[in-house]
Amino acid sequence: MHLNHYLNFQGETEAAFNFYKSVFGGEFLIFKRYSELPDAQISEKEKDYLLHVSLPINSFTVLMGSDVSEQFCAPNNAPFTKGNNHYISINLDPHEEDEARRLFNALSVNGEIEMALDNTFWGALYGAFTDQFGVKWMVNCQLLAE
């Protein structure tokens, strides 16, 4: 299991991550835009927003981020403001699906589910929530390819 930092922005992710890359060095592992989504129906304003970017910082840490899209935000989510844009991302290996479910269920008790833990188009079991203390979490478990 790896715990990483996941940052959200509103149209500034590319600039932020290019800045972080200039500071930490390295190369992006993933750099995907919303326009690359299958059957993407996004606004013209958001077509160049980043869906996901990953920048390895060292052998233990990956800084990840994305631009917030109103289309994909849960209706009960607080609107984006700088300062509420940080998640702790738990990343598990394919054989750890049970542990992903256990962590999601245990940490989200008395919290607010943003996205239920479910299979995704990127081949992972994924969910997001805010715990009872206001800390934002993501659980992502890569699934075995069939």
pLDDT digit string, tens, across residues 21-55: 998 899 999 999 988 887 767 788 888 899 999 99
Helix (H) or strand (E) holding 18: helix 13-24
Residue whose C-alpha is closest to residue 5's, from 135, 127, 144: 135
Domain ranges of the chain: 7-71, 82-146
The CATH class of the 82-146 domain is alpha beta
Q: Under a CB-based contact definition with an 8 Å cutoff, are residues 53 and 19 in contact?
A: no
Q: Does the pTM exceed 0.85?
A: no
Question: Is-contact 82 68, C-beta < 8 A?
Answer: no
Q: What is the CATH number of domain 7-71?
A: 3.10.180.10
The widest CA-to-CA distance across the chain, in whole angstroms, is 40
pLDDT digits (tens, 9 = 90+) for 3-24: 888 988 888 899 999 989 998 8
